[in-house]
């Protein structure tokens, strides 16, 4: 990467495959691979000025003002001084450049902070501390615990047994659970021996740089042998090393070629739809300006031929110029005079308004997250009004909608449901932060962060209920969690999925503490007694089995298989004696699913020793088979996992962020469509879809698209469309839209017959995004109320956003929190980053950031809507006041011989936009609001006009131009007629040019000020001061400039001596001002009155409601937790991965010995720290009614559904 930030002139050939040799920089440098330095900034000191000016002059208006400046330095055609244009132009360019420079300096700082991090690199047979930016491909580097991975590495060796490392990939995929990577044995033997590592000269041949996070292919050639490389041996930049003292890795890709940076997407210059419309309108205005100037030039030509010859006696022509040349000069003179149709102050004002509205976002205390001291941040100031026009939101799931925290919420054991809290009347209470929690002080090893509210369950544990004990024993044994005990009694669990961690933590708190494991044993503490179970087999989870089992031998020698999994799968394998219990548990499962919880069923059975030995022998034979190994093992698993006995079910809450369901409901009412794009599995994403109110039971249908070919996917999408709208016409979905000469094919919105949802997984989405299928996918998805895309890659997220942008005339917003969301955030019109626990990659690439998803509601429905409303009012009014100002010149031209004389005093022209009308319109644009934030939330439909561009569009602009044309005629002809042949009350003449100019400009200022008053919905002290102060300023400046003293000081600059005091003391002048003001605003008042009476908008209706309320609006309805009554259950609750059982039993997870607590003794002995059991242990049952014994349930000999005799009865 060059210092100047520019690529080399000779473009690098596209890489087909990567070759590199360890510890050989000279060899690797010959391929010119990228170094490890990253660059997200746009400029450097040398390129800033030319690049920034080039970008700014792409804005048509800036180029136009530069052209005007050139015209104004030509004395023959300039009737205004050159500095009237150059000063504001330089000001605008400087302010914008300063803002761009500040943003880029922050990006440079961020880059420097990352590039200057230190890492140990093996150079010249020594470990040296080097900056990240100096690391090169082929270097061997050493990483230590909790360090970020420097570049994309091939793992060589580690401090852990079997060369394992544990990494956290939150920066990449938003998942906080640990993942395991393992080095090749041949490189693992190098260990941390620096001499051996320095002698390592292996050659890697692998794929070129790409953005696939889940795949890697390559080979390592070392000592004459070839070894295959896959994703399990690669550490990606952005990961963090955890629970591993050290590891060594070989750099494969650096800097911009790492998968993290490849997924960042291209930074594009974002413009709002109003900016794009403004560019179009400015072109139209220029065309109209040229048209007016041509008319006036023709008028000058005709006038010169007919009348001009009579004036040559008094004004001889220079160089005897002909009428044609005079008309040519007049054309350019009027271009300068009429340039105020697009004054440069428009763009200065727009920047100020955007900056002000950005500060409102940052200052909003209701978007401040106190727990993490994180305020909302407007990282871009140019997109505020676009927030009021969002139609599609693309959201990540993990960390954005959810907290990625799993909570053990409820359970069903032996037909009894636990987890709900009841009052003394038997009514279920809503659980909140004030609800009493269970006291786990009886258990010294309990996790203090775990909370549970139903005291009945802990009572059942203390009363030694055998089924409850069996339930938690299963949770403590059947898992692949690793335990780490750094201090005595302080246990930390490392789970490969947060679900497993939640279940093991629940068992821990209820007295069944998982303490440690070896490849062939699991040690747990059962109610204070240390027990070690022999681990005989793990029947691992996979996506087909949807369950996992362990076979263990208890200290007493009893063999058991414990199984947990999807309830539908477990139910098929239960003993027939469990049929009654199944019915009761099913009811509980339905209740849990109705609350949006993720459910699992638990079952077990005891095994016969002889049978197990035979099964184990067959299992060993099957596991060593070369052919058809998987299916043979599956058959054996099926055989032993039958005739199970049901223990109960668990219900885990995938903890949503606060307020997510309510936010989604509000945004849906605002007619915003929400698509969730997640890397999670389908069942998990669907569960969250239901729990956050995105998918609802009331929907007519939720379509699942899971085709494995392009044709299958197309047919599934077509079937879904037909179901939603049977009479759909294929050819009616396109609308050809022309924007600035470009023809764009737009997919029209279709209305479905009902409400529908769409769920599509990653491999099907790949087919759906193909060119032949993308329109079918888009048309189907846009008819649905909610869309969920599962197992999607970061690139696919961006492709979905680009697809909607391409074919829909709609504004898109993407929101996420991880590095895997960066490409989506950059692709959308507006990107929002959640500053959560998954790092800052998303925030650094975003336009806006805050800490909680719920703040999005306020960002859009309040700040976005107000910003859009203010900007539209500003533009409508600004064009009105400047068109009116300018068109008066046009009418005056017919009365001044088309001589390019100005109708106003030159000082008034200079100060009109700068002083007399600047502050009032800025006051309206910064403080105006139709209704306050509470009413905005109560009526989210107020957001819809923004999506439809109703406040400012080509039509609204045309109306504004017509209104200006009418007002300019009134402002010219009424004063002209009033002053024609008029004398003062003392008989002196008042009908001179200077008096007419003063009257016209005074009428203009009063008319536009009154019009501003009609535009304003919300008057504040500041607004009132600006409007009245500007009028007062006008009179103060006018009387000062038209005074004798100013004329005597500079006669040529202040020629209007005494005009103000001579004119403004006449009653007929003030009557004329009154008449013109009334005539200017009368049509507006009439039109608005009729519009509100005959066709009121949603704003009119709500504002009328507010006026009726008179006092403060009613308090918002208390947000209660949204509960669903549903029969839907999770197919499988875990975000689990296959293969962890093999790791556990192979010993690869084996850690250093955990600290042993001296407080725990062998079987049968209780610890001194353990409290007595039973009622005396602290809690008596609450007023909660006990679940009655289900009638007609047979007590099985297996005692799986025994009746508990309550001593209180």
| Helix %, strand %, coil % of the chain (to 5) | 45, 20, 35
Length of the chain equals 1209
Q: Are 469 and 461 in contact, with CB atoms under 8 Å apart? A: yes
**Pair 988, 1013: CB distance under 8 Å:** no
- Going by pLDDT thresholds of 50, 70 and 90, the confidence category of residue 524 is very high
- Cα separation values, 921 from 151, 296, 864, 951, Å: 53, 31, 19, 17
R_g of the chain, CA atoms, integer Å: 38
C-alpha dihedral over 343, 348, 351, 356, to 10 degrees?
A: -120
| Residue 554: count of CB within 10 angstroms of its CB | 16
Q: Are 923 and 1022 in contact (CB under 8 A)?
A: yes
How confident is the model at residue 8, as a pLDDT?
37
Return d(Cα 980, Cα 978) in angstroms, integer: 6
Q: What are the contacts of 542-547 at 24+ separation with CB within 8 A?
A: 542/1138, 543/681, 543/1138, 544/634, 545/569, 545/634, 545/637, 546/1131, 546/1132, 547/641, 547/1132
Angle between helices 954-979 and 273-306 (to 10 degrees): 40
Average pLDDT, the chain: 82
Q: Which residue has the higher pLDDT, 615 or 1197?
A: 615
Vertex 1040 angle, CA 1035 and 1046, to 5° = 155
Give CA–CA dist 1080/965, Å, rounded.
11
pLDDT band at 634 (very low <50, low <70, confident <90, very high): confident
Looking at residue 1142, its pLDDT comes to: 65
Q: Which residue has the higher pLDDT, 468 or 5?
A: 468
Calpha distance 1205→1209 (Å, rounded): 8
Mean pLDDT check: name the lowest of 628-632, 832-836, 935-939: 628-632
Average the pLDDT over each of 680-684, 1003-1007, 1178-1182 and give the range with the smallest value: 1178-1182
The verdict on whether 396 is a catalytic residue reads yes
Residues paired with 1029 in a beta bridge = none
**18-22, 964-968, 1093-1097: least confident range:** 1093-1097
pLDDT tens across 882-928, in order? 999 999 999 999 988 888 888 888 888 878 887 888 899 999 999 99
For residues 234-247, average pLDDT? 90
Closest CA to 1146 of 519, 483, 517: 519
Q: How far apart are CA 326 and CA 323, in angstroms?
A: 5
SS3 per-residue string spanning 362-414: HHCHHHCEHHHCECCEECCCCCHHHHHCEEEEEECCCCCCEEEEEEEEEEEEC
Q: In whole angstroms, give the CA distance from residue 34 to residue 38.
A: 10
Tokens, residue 235: 């550490």
Q: How far apart are CA 185 and CA 160, in angstroms?
A: 13
DSSP state of 320: G
pLDDT for the residue 82:
65
pTM (2 decimals)? 0.76
Burial of 626: CB neighbours in 10 Å, binned 0-12, 13-18, 19+:
exposed
**CA 858, CA 400: separation in Å to the nearest integer?**
16
730-735: long-range pairs with CB below 8 Å, 24+: 733/775, 733/779
Contact 500, 564 (CB under 8 A): no
- Give the model confidence (pLDDT) of 1097-1121 as tens digits: 888 888 888 888 865 555 665 554 5
Q: Phi/psi of residue 644, each to 5°?
A: -75, 160
The active-site residue, picked from 152, 173, 396, 454, is 396
Residue 139 scores a pLDDT above 90:
yes
């Amino acid at each position: 990467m060059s210092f100047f930030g520019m690529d080399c002139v000779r473009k690098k050939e596209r890489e087909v495959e990567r070759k590199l040799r360890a510890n050989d920089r000279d060899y690797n440098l010959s391929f010119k691979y990228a170094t490890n330095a990253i660059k997200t900034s746009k400029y450097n000191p040398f390129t800033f000025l030319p690049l920034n000016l080039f970008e700014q002059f792409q804005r048509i208006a800036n180029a136009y003002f530069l052209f005007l400046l050139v015209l104004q330095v030509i004395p023959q055609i300039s009737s205004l001084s050159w500095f009237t244009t150059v000063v504001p132009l330089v000001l605008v360019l400087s302010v914008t450049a300063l803002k761009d420079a500040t943003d880029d300096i922050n990006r440079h700082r961020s880059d420097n902070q990352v590039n200057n991090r230190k890492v140990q690199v093996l150079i010249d047979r020594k470990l040296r501390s080097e900056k990240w930016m100096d690391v090169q491909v082929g270097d061997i580097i050493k990483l230590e615990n909790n360090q970020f991975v420097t570049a994309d590495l091939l793992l060589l060796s580690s401090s852990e047994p079997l060369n394992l490392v544990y990494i956290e990939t939150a920066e990449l995929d938003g998942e906080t659970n640990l993942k395991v990577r393992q080095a090749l044995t041949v490189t693992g033997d190098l260990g941390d021996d620096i001499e051996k590592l320095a002698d390592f000269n292996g050659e890697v041949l692998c794929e070129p740089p790409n953005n696939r996070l889940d795949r890697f292919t390559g080979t390592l050639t070392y000592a004459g042998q070839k070894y295959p490389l896959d994703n399990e041996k690669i550490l990606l930049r952005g990961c963090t090393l955890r629970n591993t003292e050290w590891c060594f890795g070989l750099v494969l890709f650096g800097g911009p070629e790492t998968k993290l940076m490849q997924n960042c997407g291209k930074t594009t210059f974002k413009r709002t739809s109003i900016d794009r419309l403004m560019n179009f309108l400015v072109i139209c205005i220029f065309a109209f300006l040229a048209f007016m100037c041509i008319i006036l030039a023709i008028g000058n030509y005709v006038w010169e031929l007919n009348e001009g010859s009579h004036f040559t006696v008094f004004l001889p022509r220079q160089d005897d110029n002909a009428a044609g040349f005079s008309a040519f000069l007049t054309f350019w003179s009027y271009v300068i005079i009429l340039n105020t149709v697009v004054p440069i102050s428009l763009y200065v004002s727009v920047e100020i308004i955007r900056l002000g509205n950005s500060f409102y976002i940052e200052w909003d205390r209701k978007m401040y997250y106190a727990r993490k001291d994180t305020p909302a941040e407007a990282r871009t100031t140019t997109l505020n009004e676009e927030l009021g026009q969002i139609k599609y939101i693309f959201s990540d799931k993990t960390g954005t909608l959810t907290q990625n925290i799993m909570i053990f919420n409820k359970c069903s054991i032996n037909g009894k449901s636990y987890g709900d809290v009841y009052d003394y009347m038997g009514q279920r209470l809503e659980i909140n932060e004030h609800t009493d929690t269970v006291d786990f002080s009886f258990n010294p090893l309990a996790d203090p962060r775990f909370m549970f509210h139903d005291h009945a369950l802990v009572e059942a544990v203390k009363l030694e209920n055998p089924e409850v004990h069996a339930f938690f024993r299963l949770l403590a044994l059947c898992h692949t969690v690793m335990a780490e005990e750094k201090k005595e009694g302080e246990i930390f669990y490392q789970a490969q999925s947060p679900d497993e961690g939640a279940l093991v933590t629940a068992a821990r708190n209820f007295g069944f503490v998982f303490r440690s494991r070896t490849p062939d044993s699991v040690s747990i503490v059962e109610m204070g007694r240390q027990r070690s179970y022999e681990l005989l087999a793990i029947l691992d989870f996979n996506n087909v089995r949807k369950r996992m089992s362990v076979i263990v031998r208890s200290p007493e020698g009893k063999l058991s298989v414990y199984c947990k999994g999807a309830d539908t799968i477990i139910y098929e394998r239960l003993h027939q004696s469990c049929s009654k219990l199944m019915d009761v548990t099913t009811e509980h499962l339905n209740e849990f699913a109705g609350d949006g919880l993720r459910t699992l069923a638990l079952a077990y059975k005891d095994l016969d020793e002889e049978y197990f030995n035979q099964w184990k022998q067959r299992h060993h034979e099957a596991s060593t088979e070369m052919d058809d190994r998987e299916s043979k093992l599956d058959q054996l698993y099926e055989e032993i996992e039958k005739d199970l006995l049901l223990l109960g079910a668990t219900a885990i809450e995938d903890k949503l962020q606060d307020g997510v369901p309510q936010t989604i409901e509000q945004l849906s009412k605002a007619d915003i469509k929400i698509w969730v794009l997640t890397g999670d599995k389908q069942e998990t994403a669907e569960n969250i879809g239901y729990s956050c109110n995105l998918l609802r039971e009331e929907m007519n249908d939720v379509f699942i698209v899971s085709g494995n070919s392009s044709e299958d996917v197309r047919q599934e999408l077509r079937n879904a469309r037909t179901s939603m709208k049977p009479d759909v016409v294929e050819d009616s979905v396109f609308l050809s839209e022309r924007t600035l000469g470009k023809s764009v094919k737009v997919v029209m919105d279709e209305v479905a017959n009902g409400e529908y949802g769409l769920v599509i997984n990653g491999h099907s989405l790949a087919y759906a995004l193909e060119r032949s299928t993308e329109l079918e996918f888009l048309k189907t998805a846009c008819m649905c109320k909610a869309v969920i895309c599962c197992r999607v890659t970061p690139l696919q997220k961006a492709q979905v956003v680009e697809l909607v942008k391409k074919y829909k005339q709609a504004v898109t917003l993407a929101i996420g929190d991880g590095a895997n969301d960066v490409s989506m955030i950059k692709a959308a019109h507006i990107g929002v980053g959640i500053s959560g626990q998954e790092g800052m990659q998303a925030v650094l690439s975003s336009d806006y950031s805050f800490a909680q998803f719920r703040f999005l509601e306020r960002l859009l429905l309040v700040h976005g809507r107000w910003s859009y409303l203010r900007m539209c009012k500003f533009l409508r009014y600004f064009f009105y006041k400047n068109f009116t100002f300018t068109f008066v010149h046009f009418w005056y031209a017919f009365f001044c011989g088309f001589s390019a004389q100005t109708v106003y005093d030159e000082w008034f022209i200079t100060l009109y936009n700068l002083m007399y009308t600047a502050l009032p319109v800025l006051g309206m644009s910064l403080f105006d609001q139709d209704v306050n934030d509470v009413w905005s939330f109560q009526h989210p439909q107020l957001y819809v006009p923004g999506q439809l561009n109703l406040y400012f569009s080509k039509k609204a602009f045309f109306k504004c131009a017509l209104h200006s044309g009418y007002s300019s005629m009134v402002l010219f002809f009424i004063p002209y007629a009033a002053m024609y042949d008029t004398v003062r009350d003392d008989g002196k003449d008042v009908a001179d040019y200077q008096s007419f100019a003063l009257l016209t400009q005074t009428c203009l200022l009063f008319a536009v000020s009154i019009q501003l008053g009609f535009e304003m919905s919300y008057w504040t002290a500041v607004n009132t001061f600006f409007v009245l102060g500007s009028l007062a300023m006008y009179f103060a400046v006018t009387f000062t400039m038209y005074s004798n003293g100013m004329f005597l000081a500079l006669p040529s600059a202040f020629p209007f001596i005494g005009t103000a005091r001579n004119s403004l003391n006449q009653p007929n002048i003030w009557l004329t001002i009154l008449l013109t003001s009334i005539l200017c605003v009368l049509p507006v008042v009439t039109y608005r009155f009729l519009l509100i009476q005959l066709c009121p908008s949603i704003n009119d209706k709500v504002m009328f409601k507010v006026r009726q309320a008179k006092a403060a609006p009613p308090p918002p309805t208390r947000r209660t937790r949204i509960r669903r009554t549903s029969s839907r259950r999770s197919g499988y609750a875990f975000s689990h991965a296959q293969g962890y059982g093999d790791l556990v039993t192979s010993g690869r997870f084996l850690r250093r010995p955990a600290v042993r607590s001296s407080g725990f003794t062998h079987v049968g002995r209780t610890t001194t720290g353990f409290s007595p059991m039973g009622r005396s242990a602290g809690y008596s049952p609450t007023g909660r009614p006990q679940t009655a014994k289900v009638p007609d349930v047979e007590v099985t000999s297996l005692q799986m559904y025994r009746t508990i005799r309550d001593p209180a009865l």
